[in-house]
Structure 1
């Protein structure tokens, strides 16, 4: 232990004073004045280093954030890197302040490492979430505003932190998912591409005219302005089912227009086929009864 540390320990051991004894109080005051006169400057410098270090760490973090935002880096990655820079610089200044105060930094770091190991074993699930969060942020599997399906939950990404991901579901529920659960499961990013294909299966009766039904569906697709011209929509018989002839309809649309366009197409196709006398059958069974003599 350093001389400053020994002096501090001796001073702490003598803190048990009798407040009713004037001599004891006087001796304590003299010892306190002597300690401050000898070590006060070093402690003051250590506090000053810590305060200045905090200011510098915050300013550097802000500069890093500004530079990354100017370079149009993703908000989540920017926030993560700026936070790491802040705490890394602050940790360095804390160590410098402790050394300036006369504390044996090597022993302190050894004790801190042992304590960190014990805490790490106790918080292994939390650390697993942190490691998964770092992987998700660095590989940018999704970003804020994307609609994703992760760990069996679908929603819009509101926040991706080091430990958890916050989603907002279509019915406006807030769902918080641990990052380790996300990294260990399939990730579906619906917003990853600008365009998306609408998959419809329109069943018609075996007695109906297939070419007439396809012509009606084609005219509906051509009238829908939100659909993309390329790739061209696919309209083809895709399956001969038990109760219907299934026509596969595959138009392309901008990802942001997917759901409203799909809903509109389903409604228009149903109304138009009804008006043309083409039925959309439902599964049914024929029961034959045989009379036994």
Structure 2
């Protein structure tokens, strides 16, 4: 009987020990969860505060979201390491495991890393910035955001295109709006027999009366080609980049109206057929 009583007491002691351990580690896990939740909340507030600082300091709009994302990721990594350390895990060992896991993930995600490197190159060299219009592989649109791995472009008909940064960093990009002024090239055709000087004078007057067209460099208006059924005139004039398309359409319409008023014929393809009687 004594042996049985001793075994029962020993069993009760072990149960109490496990209960105490469960309570101890349970409380520790709860505290770690609270630290994690509060830490994530603080990080969110900190990132918002840093964003406001960036806005007040007039940090480049292109660089801003990239830096905020990196800061957010780094703070979360530090928080996770702190929580793991609170649970009693050796942080040095955890960092080593994290580094090994990072290496394995890096090898598996080489494409993503190349996109990350592409994003860094874009931010350093600045071939384009947020708000600028670019042409890339036949796709034209306005840059809305440069993220760590991708760049978001809105086309002129408001389609959303997400382009990997590696492609943008290693391709030819036409920046449409970086320069303040652009040359507007147009071509007008008139019928054979038209007065060349009158045609040039009409176009020159239209350009001179519109303040959007730059007077320096001097507009260039010359006969460029004697085509099959028309005389073709080339017009080269400089305008502000923001006025490019309005000037293009207005000059087209106004030239047509002016030619009609001055009696200048606009040709159309025609074919003369001669019948020979046998």
Shorter chain as denominator, the TM-score bin is 0.7 to 0.9
**C-alpha separation between the residues in 2 aligned to 1:277 and 1:24?**
114
3-state DSSP of counterpart to 1:80: helix
**C-alpha separation between the residues in 2 aligned to 1:211 and 1:25?**
114
Unaligned runs of 5+ in 2: 1-9
Contact residue 149 and residue 187 of structure 1 kept, 8 A: yes
Number of paired residues? Answer: 269
- Counterpart position of 2:264: 278
Deviations 1:70-100 (A, max 9, x none): 2222323112112212221331232233223
3-state DSSP of counterpart to 1:211: helix
- Counterpart position of 1:105: 91
The alpha carbon displacement at 1:191 in A equals 1.4
Contact residue 42 and residue 102 of structure 1 kept, 8 A: no
**C-alpha separation between the residues in 1 aligned to 2:251 and 2:13?**
92
2:168 to 158, 161, 182: 182
1:267 to 253, 256, 259: 253
**C-alpha separation between the residues in 1 aligned to 2:11 and 2:184?**
87
The alpha carbon displacement at 1:68 in A equals 2.2
Does 1:168 find its partner at 2:154? yes
- Counterpart position of 1:88: 74
Contact residue 214 and residue 235 of structure 1 kept, 8 A: yes
Q: Decide whether aligned partners of structure 1 residues 85 and 252 sit closer, same or farther in structure 2, where only a CA change above 3 A counts.
A: same
Unaligned runs of 5+ in 1: 1-22
Deviations 1:146-197 (A, max 9, x none): 2211232111222222222222222232222222222222111211122222
Deviations 1:230-275 (A, max 9, x none): 3332222334444433322122222222212211111111221233
3-state DSSP of counterpart to 2:224: strand
2:213 to 213, 221, 227: 227
1:33 to 2, 20, 38: 20
Contact residue 65 and residue 146 of structure 2 kept, 8 A: no
The alpha carbon displacement at 1:287 in A equals 6.3
Q: Which moved more, 1:117-126 or 1:53-62?
A: 53-62
Q: Which moved more, 1:46-55 or 1:237-246?
A: 46-55
3-state DSSP of counterpart to 1:128: helix
**C-alpha separation between the residues in 1 aligned to 2:137 and 2:19?**
60
**C-alpha separation between the residues in 2 aligned to 1:242 and 1:150?**
36
- Counterpart position of 2:183: 197
Deviations 1:37-61 (A, max 9, x none): 4x67866775566456545544443
**C-alpha separation between the residues in 2 aligned to 1:239 and 1:189?**
31
- RMSD of Structure 2 on Structure 1 (CA): 3.2
